[in-house]
Structure 1
Amino acid sequence: MLEQVNVFYEGWGERWQWGTLVSTTALTGRPLIVFEYSNEARQKGLELSSYTLPLEGAQLRRDFPDHQLHLPGPVYDALPDGWGLLLMDRMFRRRGLTTARIGSLERLAYIGSHAMGALTFEPVAPEGQESKVHIPLEQLAAQVQEVLHGDGGEFLQTLLLVGGSPQGARPKALVYRDPETGGF
């Protein structure tokens, strides 16, 4: 399960981090999405929702409405509506995923820079898991085949880490080739 997504503002030729969304159980013991404005957003003073998400106030915002998938309004508005969600769910099912287990942050990560409006979304790898995954290419290929055949669910997190962008119809991996040893 994806735990953190950075939200960027990309409008009028600018790009800067607007805030961060985190899925956590630390505050209440149950899954909860919290939002925090970035320092840059506070400095720039761009308030996208002055009534429900003012810049001034609590550092961590939470308890967003159920009908907004527990997301702040401007973030929820970046997701596709009914038809787009239907297509997204069908694509997830085609990839062997259970749509009921796909959370709001995973949907935002999938949308990435293709959202309507000025917000874009980038998943954040958990600490200690930043692309330092060492998997022989043969094992990677075998595990991908298991996932494609509906098995290998425990390997999905690793695929998310090495897979780069979630878009595309075919499995991909970003690999590093050591120029001195020639190994991957």
Structure 2
Amino acid sequence: MGNTLIQPLNLSSLLDSVSWTISEPTSTANVIIDSFSASGHKDIERISLSAFFDAKKNDSFTHSMRLLTESERMELVYKNHFITLLLPIDWYGEMGPSSRSYFSETGFTCQQILQHIYEFYQENMSEEEIKAAIHTNSRQSEKLRAADSVLKDGKTVFKRIQYLGSQNGFEMLKRVSSFNCSNIYELIIKA
């Protein structure tokens, strides 16, 4: 009692400067460092990937990446107590995203959010997901149909990350709703 709810940051995207393959441990996540050689500006950190790809065509633009520092990992990037992540199960969206809600009294650090994403994709697909995935157009569905030989207690074992195939690069978490107070973010992945 007496606690005031912390308001979320009004961001349309989260962690859009992070480059990471979600099949790898979160310790491999990088931050994009950009510098504009022609203008003489110092390195500008935390620029969005979309800006990076637009500027990539410009010869005066160079970029590099470095591992996240401990302070960047522990930085509070989302101040609300609840966050809901919409996590894609297949690249083509035939199965739609899976929704996971998380709670933290103090808000969410970059590390916490990345860890939640990593853990989701390291889990085995549920029986229902496997039944649906077998009927999709994905190349990975062929692997599932052939996976009958990989049984654990009479069930097919297939991690979610395997179903994404090569499309497992983290791009950003994009706010789903147009409401400023929305706590729902969709994971955008790239090849």
Which TM-score bucket, shorter chain as reference?
Answer: under 0.3
Provide TM-score, normalisation by structure 2.
0.25
Provide TM-score, normalisation by structure 1.
0.26
Higher helix share: 1
